Structure 1
Amino acid sequence: MNLISLDIRMLRSLISVVETGSITETARRLGRTQPAITLQLQRLEELTGKQLFVHGGRRLALTEDGGIVLTYARSILRLHDELISQLASQEIEGQVVLGTPDLYAAFILPSILSVFRKSFPRIQVELNCALSTPLVELVKRSEVDIALVTRMNDFTGGQVVRREQLVWMTGEQSAAHQERPIPLALLPQGNIYRDHAIAALEAANLRWRIACQSESVGGLQAAAFAGMAVTVLGRSALVAGMRELGPADGLPALPQVELLLYKSSGATSKAATALHDYLAHYLRLGDQLGETGVPIDMG
């Protein structure tokens, strides 16, 4: 068996192309030209001796072998980046203000921040929990260094680092979804979770009423646990004592939402850069967009 050596940059390009669905976006993120990224992918196929993509037209999908290489590439890159971070972490110190809605603070970020603290013990992270719209304004004013938020219709900028599937939820023993009008526990007006929920019910000609409005996910969950209402949250927030509802329960399907990562123009410290890059990398690793068969735009 001939031993081969795979360049870490090839693996990084492969992962980025799958995650972004675009060679153009990958080239922008990695600071390379589009032909250079294409050449790296072709070279990766040559070195592995496997066809990694189903070729034909502008849009490609990963082959079975491509999916295998992608899985190992993620593991290799994770260990590579952890090593580099560990070697550099002892020298980086400072304080970073991270803003995010309490939904993500409670259900998405804990495991990532726990590992980050071990890798960068001298960086202090201050968590600021608020709704997405005010957080984006705080980032623009440099009052928050980094923010992980839900993309709203009027948001510009930021990096898409994850997608969350919205789902209807209620208490395990609740029959609130059978009531008419349907009692809802929702975030305040202007939030896209609320907009999607109401739009879906209206499209299905289902009557509804607001039974609970809360800026906190805890308030929405309390109403659902008590059987007072049905709420809409990301699937990551489905906890014991609650159950997911869907078309089989008479409720319409809901879309996914995009999570954006922002960095303030004033956040120039090594500590802020370390946290931003760490979040961007590990949130993308957890995103389901990287599964085999996702179309890839070669433009």
Structure 2
Amino acid sequence: MANYPGIDTELLRSFVAIADHGGFTRAAEAVHRTQSAISMQMKRLEEDVLQRPLFERSGRQVSLTAEGQVLLGYARRILKLHGEVMTTLREPHMVGAVRIGTPDDYVMRFLPGILAQFAQAYPLVQVELHCEPSYQLLQRQDMDLTIVTREPGTEIGQLLRQERFVWAEATGYDLHQQRPIPLAMFNSGCFCRAWVCNALDAAEIDYRIAYTSPSLAALMALVGAGLAVTAQLRSLIPPQLRILGEAEGLPALPQCSIVLLRNPRSQSPVSEALAEYIVEGFRL
């Protein structure tokens, strides 16, 4: 393996500034150096380090040679990685793990975008995701952060959003007109299922629980196949399903609250940073 000289990141930073600003003078202002210092840096980069011409000069105009274009791509990537390393390792409290408990409802709709942004900001933090129904998560004490669904008036922790439940079925089907209506709902421990049954009982509409599952993905697959009607939060209904309401003869359903719980025994800068991303993500 050849023993090539290393490239100082300050040389690369000045080189990228020249490419971005179209000349030595404006680049010098951008990196807070004198024009002569920038010129000396580029002479060193061209003659001593790479031994390749990087610029074509025509009066005050400067453009990159073919070699310069190649270097520019590498330089941007090197500087980006350098910045990530310095940010991460100079903040050692942002290296670690955080445990999140959440129903899988919110994994599908909200968490992919939230965790993508969090991973970009804190690439060395490990996230453990535990998916269970809300009533089971409320009994656990080993999560750093927990997202649960609560009935109005029983909110605890930090309110993320409030949303109404709606009825839904597959487009092209009229299962809501059947009697009894076939329902696909969460398992019996979910208070949302009790809401649905109570609302249908009050409206004197016959129904049967045709399918149950703790998984929202499973329920949506069953409903999408035209096997049952369901009731879920409005934001969780995929576009291929049709939302039903009082116009179709179904009773209105209440709204519920989504809340974030922080474990006081395991609070850390890592968990608090992720909590901020979760709060922002659920506002969208």
> What TM-score do you get using the length of structure 1 for normalisation?
0.61
The 3-state SS of whatever aligns with 1:257 is strand
What is the root-mean-square deviation of aligned Cα atoms in Å? 2.0
> Quick one: distance in 1 between partners of 2:117 and 2:246?
38
Specify the alignment match of 1:185 in structure 2: 184
**Which amino acid counterpart does residue 205 of structure 1 have in structure 2?**
E
Superposition map of 1:169-184 within 5 A: 169-184=168-183
Of 133, 136, 141, 1:134 maps to 136
**Which amino acid counterpart does residue 108 of structure 2 have in structure 1?**
A
Q: Tell me, yes or no, if structure 1 residue 252 matches structure 2 residue 251.
A: yes
Q: Tell me, yes or no, if structure 1 residue 106 matches structure 2 residue 105.
A: no
Aligned residues: 196
> Quick one: distance in 2 between partners of 1:190 and 1:153?
17
* Preserved CA contact (<8 Å) 2:184 2:211: yes
User: CA shift at 1:179, angstroms?
Assistant: 0.3
**Which amino acid counterpart does residue 185 of structure 1 have in structure 2?**
A
> Quick one: distance in 2 between partners of 1:130 and 1:275?
19
| Shift >6 Å, 4+ stretches | none
* Higher relative contact order, chain-length normalized (CA < 8 Å, sep 6+): 1
> Quick one: distance in 2 between partners of 1:110 and 1:174?
31
In percent, how many aligned pairs have the same letter?
Answer: 38
Listed as ranges, the gaps of 5+ residues in structure 2 are 1-83
**Which amino acid counterpart does residue 174 of structure 2 have in structure 1?**
A
Q: Tell me, yes or no, if structure 1 residue 163 matches structure 2 residue 162.
A: yes
Bigger radius of gyration among the two: 2
**Which amino acid counterpart does residue 135 of structure 2 have in structure 1?**
T
Specify the alignment match of 1:219 in structure 2: 218
* Preserved CA contact (<8 Å) 2:155 2:257: no
User: CA shift at 1:102, angstroms?
Assistant: 0.7
Listed as ranges, the gaps of 5+ residues in structure 1 are 1-85, 287-299
> Quick one: distance in 2 between partners of 1:260 and 1:191?
16
* Preserved CA contact (<8 Å) 1:185 1:220: yes
**Which amino acid counterpart does residue 158 of structure 2 have in structure 1?**
Q
**Which amino acid counterpart does residue 277 of structure 1 have in structure 2?**
E
The 3-state SS of whatever aligns with 1:271 is helix
Pair 1:280–1:176, CA change in 2 (3 A): same
> What TM-score do you get using the length of structure 2 for normalisation?
0.64
